[in-house]
């Protein structure tokens, strides 16, 4: 069961995950790419990780950018599960940027 993140924990966790912010009660981040198709491929890889976690973000694919937003709807809060997703998305980003 995911554990709610407290107001005291959130700043440290955000500090440990650069680029992520809180918007409307969700964790959010915009990833920028050199081409539209790079963004689509990144979104595909993130979707595979989300499915493995059974925790699905909102994914918005725009021109050369992808916006991810995630929260735990059942808890009506940001939880440890959201940061598990953030970690996986970060690993996809690192692998993608290194390829």
pTM, two decimals, is 0.94
Q: What is the CATH number of the domain that holds 44?
A: 3.30.1360.20
In the predicted model, what is the mean pLDDT of residues 50-67? Answer: 97
- The C-alpha atoms of residue 94 and residue 82 are separated, in whole angstroms, by 18
pLDDT in tens, 69-86: 999 999 999 999 999 999
Q: Which domain holds residue 69?
A: 10-98
**Inter-CA distances, 20 with 72, 78, 88, 99, Å:** 16, 13, 13, 22
Total structural domains in the chain? 1
- The pLDDT of residue 99 is 63
2 is a domain residue: no
């Amino acid at each position: 069961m995911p554990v709610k993140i407290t107001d005291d924990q959130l700043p440290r966790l955000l500090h440990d995950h650069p680029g992520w912010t809180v918007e409307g009660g969700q964790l959010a981040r915009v990833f920028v790419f050199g081409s539209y198709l790079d963004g689509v491929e990144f979104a595909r890889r993130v979707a595979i990780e989300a499915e493995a976690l059974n925790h699905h973000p909102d994914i918005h694919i725009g021109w050369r950018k992808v916006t991810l937003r995630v929260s735990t709807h059942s808890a009506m809060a940001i939880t440890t599960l959201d940061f598990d997703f953030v970690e996986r998305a970060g690993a996809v980003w690192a692998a993608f940027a290194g390829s």
